[in-house]
Structure 1
Amino acid sequence: MSRRTDMHGFTLVELMITVALLAIFAVIAIPSFGTLIRNNQLQSKAEELVAFLQHARGQAVLNRTPYEIWIKANGPWEIRKAGSGEVERILAHDPEQVLILASSLSDDKLLYRANGTATAARFTLCRDADPSTGYLLEVQPSGSTLLYPRGRQDATGAALDSCAP
């Protein structure tokens, strides 16, 4: 079948091949894109937790008074002046999406003192109990926070072996 020289455009066969190739690429890319979105949400929550903790430390130093972070497993976390019932800031989280586990905390409170030091604690943020995509956040006694790269548990790069803190 020959084409006339004054005809322009694509044939139906050319269009069908193009659509089929686009469909194949979409089927390959969609699962990877979903995983990317879930990983970015987890990283965002880890960075939000770091900012929340840094805010509490900053308030303690600025106001020269201890601040507590009330950690609730199934509810929002709260920043309060020590001994005060007034909530200054809230960190909402959904345990169904991102599970935040804490260790070595008595009565589920993290304390930042007026000089910036803190109760040492470790937090693990995981989704679907998969440590390879989880984050480990460590609050040191000096008050500084360390957020290790995804799937790592220390500065040497050792793999995070479980979602338990």
Structure 2
Amino acid sequence: MDVQLMIPARSAQHGFTLIELMIVVALLAIISAFALPAFQTFIASNRLTSEANELLAGLNLARSEAVRTQCSARLCRATFASDGAASCVNTNDRQPWEGWVVLVGITTATGACDSEMRLRTQMAPSNLNIISDAQLAASGNSIVFRPDGLARPLAAPTALQNAQIDICDSSGTLTSNNVRRVTLRSGTRTAVERASDTTCGTAAAAEEAEATEEGA
């Protein structure tokens, strides 16, 4: 009887050659070169929008608390102590903000609003400049809401307040639409708009600082 040896067939094994791997790596590098800037732009744009929405939420908080407590509430440019405590900056200039704080008066047993309580604080993120317009700077960088829900400046309690705050990306990632402009009109209407600023708001602040030094 013939005996046939049963030899298993070798399975075909396929792999990548060095040239194929180099081609794949080169393609990935090309795709990354196009995708990375777009991703960085997307992240920077989202950071701007998020910060603008936070500021808008702070304005809405100040308005609602003024109505609820029947005491004036305000959002103001803030300076931060070493322990992180925030307080309003009272200087009338257009220097970049360290951040902002929302304060509301405390209603006492006598019904007077003779002191303020911090409701919310927000430090300015890195690579973002927050700059007020000249009108808001002249009002002490404070937006004050009265118990009727309307914003009126501290120095002119009968006039409706208008204000503009620019939040600008200073990293250079965005070549256009690098500003989110938070506006207040007629003491009540708030909005966020897109804008562009090649100096990222630093030119106005620098000019103002130079004028202050010359006048000193």
TM-score (normalizing by structure 1) = 0.77
Distance 2:178 2:71 in 1: 37
Distance 1:61 1:161 in 2: 39
Query: Match for 2:168 among 117, 126, 146?
Result: 126
Q: Relative to structure 1, is the Cα distance of residues 24 and 38 closer, same or farther in structure 2, using a 3 angstrom cutoff?
A: same
Which residue of structure 2 lines up, in the alignment, with residue 155 of structure 1?
none
Aligned to 2:61, the other structure's residue is in SS state helix
Question: Which residue identity does 2:140 align to in structure 1?
Answer: D
Question: Which residue identity does 2:34 align to in structure 1?
Answer: I
Cα shift readout 1:24-52 (whole Å, capped 9, x = no counterpart):
21122222222221121111111111111
Matched-pair contact (CA < 8 Å) for 1:99–1:127: yes
Which residue of structure 2 lines up, in the alignment, with residue 93 of structure 1?
124
> 1:13 Cα deviation (Å)?
2.2
Distance 2:54 2:177 in 1: 20
Which residue of structure 1 lines up, in the alignment, with residue 132 of structure 2?
102
Aligned residues: 153
Which residue of structure 1 lines up, in the alignment, with residue 149 of structure 2?
116
Please provide the CA RMSD for this pair.
2.7
Q: Relative to structure 1, is the Cα distance of residues 74 and 146 closer, same or farther in structure 2, using a 3 angstrom cutoff?
A: closer
* More off after superposition, 66-75 vs 16-25: 66-75
Q: Relative to structure 1, is the Cα distance of residues 143 and 40 closer, same or farther in structure 2, using a 3 angstrom cutoff?
A: same
Identity of aligned residues (%): 31
Cα shift readout 1:99-144 (whole Å, capped 9, x = no counterpart):
1111212122110111111132111111228663211111122423
Unaligned 5+ segments in structure 1 are 152-158
Aligned to 1:56, the other structure's residue is in SS state helix
Distance 1:30 1:160 in 2: 23
Distance 1:45 1:60 in 2: 23
Q: Relative to structure 1, is the Cα distance of residues 29 and 131 closer, same or farther in structure 2, using a 3 angstrom cutoff?
A: closer
TM-score (normalizing by structure 2) = 0.61
Structure with greater strand share of residues: 2
Question: Which residue identity does 2:56 align to in structure 1?
Answer: V
Aligned to 2:140, the other structure's residue is in SS state helix
Aligned to 1:53, the other structure's residue is in SS state helix
Query: Match for 1:44 among 47, 50, 53?
Result: 50
Question: Which residue identity does 2:122 align to in structure 1?
Answer: L
Distance 1:75 1:136 in 2: 17
